[in-house]
Structure 1
Amino acid sequence: MTGPVEVPAGPLLLRPWRAGDAPAVLVGLTDPVARVWSDPGGLSTLDDARAWVARRADRSSGRHAGWAVVDAAGGGLVGSVNVHAIDREQGDAEIGYWTVPAARGRGVAPIAVDAAVRWAFASLPVDRIELVHAVENTASGRVAEKAGFTFEGRLRRSYRYGDGVKHDELLWARLADDDDPDLSTRS
């Protein structure tokens, strides 16, 4: 896998993680919504956030590619997007993301997810990317739909989230030859 790259995405920029991102990550992942759905593993201190950033910045395994999602104009952190579980033999991967509270409802996540998916299809030997979220996390369903994913089914009690409960999840996928979404009409 190529080293960290910047991916322009209209009003956003996907850029490699930096050590200086840790304070903003701490704020973003200690938000109550992120605590439940992003399951950061109990992140609660600046040292935890530094370790999280270091793991996201390290692409040496070839199994993930992650970015800090920042405002292209001001550079402030608005979220994270990560193509992970990259399986070169099967040609598939998964995608995960989160946004800071102030960025929610502004169309940030669909733009970031779409940009990361386009990068993955152009740069990796994958032709399928899955997005999975808890049934109760309806905002992630809207993100999946807007980012061009197709709903494929429900996974029963498939993942234990930050609330300690195993939730049913909804499975979405986007294929390399699917039509790209039109994010110009995002709301």
Structure 2
Amino acid sequence: MSVPSAPVEVRGEGVLLRAPWESDVDRLLEAFGDSGTQLWNPGPSDPDGVLAWIAERADWSAGTHTSWLITQPHDGDVLGSVSVWKIDLDQGDGEVGYWVAPWGRGRGVASSAVRAAAAYAFEEVGLHRLHLFHAVENPASCGVARKAGFLLEGTLRQSYRYADGRHHDEHLHARLATD
């Protein structure tokens, strides 16, 4: 199997994963302006930067990532983003990343989106293993991983420098296609 060259829509429980559009710029700027988003998953801060971010995520042609906006199915409002990246088809693995805008938090949006992205990666792309990392100080992200079926495999000490300039300990979670 392989990664398609163009984004495909994926439906999950209460979410629609779709390609980002230029019309999403204002909503993405609002999300990227949130202090929580800035700390754990910083994004661009100006319209041109958001347009470049959109173009990068909408281009699946390299076969190394899939990336979607998490949206509400009934009105298309942007709730966040989920990606499977660092895809290695030879090894059958990839890494999951996600963030949710403040107006989407606390509703199960992230775990639903991660479950849908994982199902797509396993069933359509043919991956065997997915993993994700999050800062230990971000317990909400740990809940997302667990609810999406990703088991905690361990703690990586001071493994990643986040936007605050500090190296944070991270939890490593993983899920197999057979889980």
TM-score, normalised to structure 1, is 0.91
> What whole-Å deviation, never above 9, does each CA across 1:37-59 have from its counterpart, x for those lacking one?
0133xx21111111111111111
Matched with 1:15 is: 18
Which residue number corresponds to residue 169 of structure 1? 170
CA deviation map 1:120-166 (0-9, x unaligned):
00111311000100110111000000000100001111111111111
Q: CA deviation at 1:87?
A: 0.8
Within a 5 Å distance, the mapping from 1:137-148 to structure 2 comes to 137-148=138-149
The equivalent residue for 2:40 is 37
- Distance in 2 (CA, whole Å) between partners of 1:95 and 1:79 is 14
**For this pair of structures, how many residues does the alignment match?**
176
Unpaired segments of 5 or more residues in structure 2? none
Distance in 1 between the 2:28 and 2:165 partners? 22
Match of 1:27?
A: 30
Give 1:101's aligned amino acid.
Answer: P
Q: Which runs of 4+ in 1 moved over 4 A?
A: none
The one-letter code sitting in structure 2 at the alignment partner of 1:159 is Y
Kindly indicate whether residue 76 of structure 2 is the aligned counterpart of residue 71 of structure 1.
no
Once the two structures are TM-superposed, the CA of residue 10 in structure 1 deviates from its matched residue by: 2.7
Aligned equivalents of 2:14, 2:95: Cα separation in 1: 24
Identity %: 48
Query: Residue 11 of structure 1 contacts residue 73 of structure 1 at CA under 8 Å; is this kept in 2?
Result: no
1:4 corresponds to which letter in structure 2?
P
Gapped regions of structure 1 (runs ≥ 5)? 179-187
In 2, Cα distance between equivalents of 1:44 and 1:177: 40
Aligned-pair CA distance for 1:9:
1.1
Listed as ranges, the matches of 1:82-161 within 5 Å are 82-161=83-162
Question: 2:30 is paired with a residue of what secondary structure?
Answer: helix
1:160/1:166 contact within 8 Å kept: yes
TM-score computed with the length of structure 2 as normaliser: 0.95
Q: Secondary structure at the match of 1:62?
A: coil
Residue type at the aligned position of 1:75: G
Could you say what the CA RMSD is over the residues aligned between the two structures, in angstroms?
0.9
Output the CA distance in 1 between the equivalents of 2:63 and 2:139.
31
Q: Is the 8 A contact 1:94 1:130 kept in 2?
A: yes
Number of the residue aligned with 1:56 = 57
